[in-house]
Amino acid sequence: MGEIQLMKGNEAIAEAAIRAGCDAYFGYPITPQSEILEYLAAANPEKRTGMIVLQAESELAAINMVYGAAAAGKKVMTTSSSPGISLMQEGLSYMAGAQLPGVIVNVVRGGPGLGTIQPSQSDYFQSTKGGGHGDYRLLVLAPASVQEMSDHVKLAFDLAFKYRNPVLILTDGLIGQMMEKVELFDPVPRSKTLPDWAACGKKGRPHNIITSLHLDAYEHEKMNQKLKEKYALMQKNEVRYETYYCEDADYLIVAYGASARISQKTVTLARNRGIKLGLLRPITLFPFPSEAIARLAAQLNGILSVEMSHGQMVEDVLLATRQYPALRVEHFGRFGGVVHTPEEILEAFIKLFIQLN
Amino acid sequence: MESTDIIKPENLVYKRSRLMTEQPLSYCPGCGHGTVTNLIAEVIEELGIESEVIGIAPVGCAVTVYDFIAIDWIGAAHGRATAVATAVKRVLPDRYVFTYQGDGDLAAIGTAETIHACNRGENITIIFVNNGIYGMTGGQMAPTTLEGMKTSTCPYGRDVNMQGPPIDITRMIAVLSGTYYVTRQAVHTPAAVRKTKKALLKAFELQKTNKGVSFIEIVSNCNSGWKMSPVDANRWMEEKMFKIYPLGDIKVDGKMLV
Ligand SMILES: Cc1ncc(C[n+]2csc(CCOP(=O)(O)OP(=O)(O)O)c2C)c(N)n1
Ligand code: SF4
């Protein structure tokens, strides 16, 4: 059994980074995730593992530092919240284009604009559909507990290097600020070797170039083809989700992160009233568990996508169920920083699916 | 006498750097970028550090400099080279790390990264080619464009009341305690080339001593963007550019020269 601690989600992310053998962290303060940089600054990881921690002058600088350390073959991470993540989009596109690994955490707050510092899930489109310019995808993990905040950091590094692609941990102010028991994994030593593709000094090999530029359109198409195949491979191999009371379900909630935690209670409330409601929680948002949802669709009378947004993931649920055009797929969610209650979700569900029948 | 009688090791006065690749340079004929690129290759070769050096390429006319010099390179986003260099040097402190940037890259879109990397005293070399214009995108106004100078986005000449005066970012960063060696050079004559080479050698060697940023501005031409012949461009540069951007050392051994 690993070490058990009571931690905030944000602190778990920071501690997990040190334990995962992260070489460098670059970040810029923003609520509700500043605890990550604060924790790292206080924990003195430079002494503990040799990990570098640097406060950048902006998120723009931070993501380009991440790009640099990743290009040098190192395990590197940054964290921010919505407005800061928007500033990072060009850098993320460059990382995807240059095929660089790296872990980015978005502790989402309500937008648009400066919005609010309260939790939200309104960055789903930006996270799962590319976000920056060009045809690319991030691999997106959605933790729903402080435990997963820790576990996903390690997983994210593994996946980032496996696919040479940035991995985004999409969480929100609720999970970031929430305190829970967490079993910390045993520390992984920092890697002593660098990947053969890294730009780190060419000792004994031809020189390496890290770039996303291909001036010849046909060359660039080839490069894009490679990326496309890589994303298809992720879709084949990396789909992760969890089901809750789905075996006999007539209705299904699809929800991730904080909304999934809240919806668990909704399932209990519904079942107490004799409604066979289940929950599917995507753990990866890209790749999206479309097949799992499609498999369940055959037995369902309706699906409610629950997200703290106007309704973004619901589009992916609709796509997943397009072989069942008669199946009703609806969205419910409070937004702009308001967190829905289990009762509100149940009420919305009943209005949308039960009373109409 | 046959030419083969002359081509002998003892008669060698100049040779192409071993680090220059076979790739033809993409710069316009007569452009200073070609000379600077070649100098960087020569300096790295002479210092024998080709296996320990990482170059950060800009977005600008030198965007594909990584195809010309056979060392490890990272192509940065427009303006972000010093942020990239910061990280590379922090995670690989025993390597030599340098950026190669134009004036749009370093003094417009990347101003914040430039100033903060200099302020933190990153132990890197910044090579700054100032040609007073955006070469790559077809000759638009740069923050360094001279007063009255015509470009495609100030076709009647730069109006300082509208667009501000040319920025001297090199002097700005020289006052920061994080910079250790700041100099302004050129590559339009053999003598200037020799001086620039010396400055580059010094800058790279300084990285061994962990003293902070070594910053080399090279005032250069853009004959295509300026719409002049290479010879006229160099003359114009001497007359106009050097007045606003005078050549010489600005800070040596961490001390400002007055
Ligand atoms: C974010 C972004 N904005 C704009 C551009 C277009 N762009 C490419 S190079 C350049 C200016 C280059 O000028 P400079 O840095 O002076 O270098 P030079 O080409 O003169 O050597 C611009 C604006 C870009 N590539 N990326
Ligand atoms: S456009 Fe100007 S700066 Fe660019 S290569 Fe040509 S002459 Fe040089």
pLDDT score recorded for residue A357: 53
pLDDT score recorded for residue B250: 98
Q: For the beta carbon of residue A51, count every other beta carbon within 10 angstroms.
A: 25
Distance B141 CA to ligand 1 centre (A): 11
> Which residues, judged by CB distance below 6 Å to any ligand atom, belong to the binding site of ligand 1?
B 59-62, 78, 102-105, 129, 131, 133-137, 142, 222
Cα torsion A63, A66, A68, A71: sign:
negative
Contact call for residues A68 and A98 (beta carbons, < 8 A): no
The CA distance from B19 to A120, in Å, is 53
CATH of domain A242-354: 3.40.50.920
- What region, left, alpha or beta, does residue B87 occupy, with left being phi > 0 and alpha being psi -120 to 50 degrees? alpha
Tokens of residue A137, six digits: 């995808």
- What region, left, alpha or beta, does residue A297 occupy, with left being phi > 0 and alpha being psi -120 to 50 degrees? alpha
The CA distance from B102 to B121, in Å, is 21
Instruction: Choose among B51, B83, B112: nearest Cβ to A65.
Output: B83
Contact call for residues B129 and B170 (beta carbons, < 8 A): no
Instruction: Choose among A26, A200, A211: nearest Cβ to B87.
Output: A26
State pLDDT tens for residues A45-86: 999 999 999 999 999 999 999 999 999 999 999 999 999 999
List, as ranges, residues 97-126 from B with C-beta within 8 Å of A.
112-113, 116
Sequence-separated (6 or more) residues with CB below 8 Å from residue A68: B56, B74, B76, B83, B84, B85, B86, B87, B88
A64 touches chain B (CB under 8 A): yes
Which residue, among A25, A58, A100, A210, would best test binding to B if mutated, counting the most B CBs under 10 Å from its CB? Answer: A210
**Amino acid at residue number B91:** V
Helices B111-120 and B81-91 meet at what angle, rounded to 10? Answer: 30
Q: A243: which strand partners?
A: A280
**Amino acid at residue number A229:** E
Q: What ligand has the least distance to the C-alpha of B27? A: 2
pLDDT score recorded for residue B157: 97
A71 touches chain B (CB under 8 A): yes
Q: What ligand has the least distance to the C-alpha of B225? A: 2
Distance from CA of B87 to the nearest CA of A (A): 5
Helices assigned H by DSSP within A9-112: 9-19, 34-43, 45-48, 59-71, 82-87, 89-97
Q: B75: which strand partners?
A: B57
B249 touches chain A (CB under 8 A): no
Q: Give the angle A42-A48-A52 at the CA atoms, nearest 5°.
A: 70
Is the peptide bond preceding residue B58 cis, with omega within 30 degrees of 0? no
pLDDT score recorded for residue A355: 83
**Is the pLDDT confidence value at A1 over 80?**
no
The CA distance from A272 to B42, in Å, is 79
Sequence-separated (6 or more) residues with CB below 8 Å from residue A137: A96, A128, A129, A130, A165, A231, A234, A286
Distance from CA of B146 to the nearest CA of A (A): 29
Q: Give the angle A259-A237-A1 at the CA atoms, nearest 5°.
A: 65
Domains of chain B as residue ranges with CATH? 25-256 (3.40.50.970)
pLDDT score recorded for residue A239: 98
**Hey, which of B25, B33, B37 would you mutate to test ligand 2's pocket, going by the most ligand atoms within 8 Å of its Cβ?**
B33
The CA distance from B196 to A199, in Å, is 26
pLDDT score recorded for residue B7: 85
A24 touches chain B (CB under 8 A): yes
Q: In which element (H, E) is residue B134 found?
A: strand B133-134
Sequence-separated (6 or more) residues with CB below 8 Å from residue A234: A137, A139, A163, A165, A286, A287
A213 touches chain B (CB under 8 A): yes
List the domain boundaries for chain A.
4-237, 242-354
The Cα diameter of chain B in Å comes to 64
Q: Give the angle A293-A295-A301 at the CA atoms, nearest 5°.
A: 75
Q: For the beta carbon of residue A114, count every other beta carbon within 10 angstroms.
A: 10
Is the peptide bond preceding residue A32 cis, with omega within 30 degrees of 0? yes
Tokens of residue B113, six digits: 């990264």
CB contact under 8 A, A209 and B73: yes
The highest-level CATH class for domain A4-237 is alpha beta
State pLDDT tens for residues A277-311: 999 999 999 999 999 999 999 999 999 999 999 99
Tokens of residue A224, six digits: 């894009």
Spatial strand order of the sheet with B248-252 comes to: A209-210, B72-75, B53-57, B96-102, B125-130, B213-219, B179-186, B248-252, B255-256
Helices assigned H by DSSP within chain A: 9-19, 34-43, 45-48, 59-71, 82-87, 89-97, 124-128, 146-163, 173-177, 217-237, 257-272, 290-297, 314-320, 342-349
Q: Over its length of 258 residues, how does chain B's per-residue pLDDT go in tens digits?
A: 788 888 888 888 888 999 999 999 999 999 999 999 999 999 999 999 999 999 999 999 999 999 999 999 999 999 999 999 999 999 999 999 999 999 999 999 999 999 999 999 999 999 999 999 999 999 999 999 999 999 999 999 999 999 999 999 999 999 999 999 999 999 999 999 999 999 999 999 999 999 999 999 999 999 999 999 999 999 999 999 999 999 999 999 999 997
pLDDT score recorded for residue A311: 98
Q: A167: which strand partners?
A: A103, A139
CA A15 from centroid of its chain's CA atoms: 18
The CA distance from B103 to B167, in Å, is 10
Structure letter (DSSP) for residue B8: S
pTM reported for the whole predicted model: 0.97
Q: In which element (H, E) is residue B193 found?
A: helix B190-206
CA distances for A158 relative to A76, A282, B89, angstroms: 12, 19, 24
Contact call for residues A28 and A40 (beta carbons, < 8 A): no
The Cα diameter of chain A in Å comes to 72
State pLDDT tens for residues A195-250: 999 999 999 999 999 999 999 999 999 999 999 999 999 999 999 999 999 999 99
A-B CB pairs within 8 A amount to 126
- Indicate which atom in ligand 2 lies nearest the CA of residue B226: 2
Distance B225 CA to ligand 2 centre (A): 7
pLDDT score recorded for residue B51: 98
B252 touches chain A (CB under 8 A): no
Closest CA to A250 of A279, A280, A278, A281: A278
Contact call for residues A29 and A53 (beta carbons, < 8 A): no
Structure letter (DSSP) for residue A322: T
Q: Is B193 in the pocket of ligand 2 (CB under 6 A)?
A: no
Mean pLDDT across chain A: 97
Distance from CA of B148 to the nearest CA of A (A): 33
pLDDT score recorded for residue A356: 63
State pLDDT tens for residues A82-98: 999 999 999 999 999 99
Distance B60 CA to ligand 2 centre (A): 9
B56 touches chain A (CB under 8 A): yes
The CA distance from A81 to A59, in Å, is 10
CA distances for A163 relative to A99, A222, A237, angstroms: 8, 17, 11
Distance from CA of A104 to the nearest CA of B (A): 16
**Is the pLDDT confidence value at A272 over 70?**
yes
The CA distance from B163 to A312, in Å, is 43
Which residue, among B26, B84, B124, would best test binding to A if mutated, counting the most A CBs under 10 Å from its CB? Answer: B84
The CA distance from A112 to A123, in Å, is 9
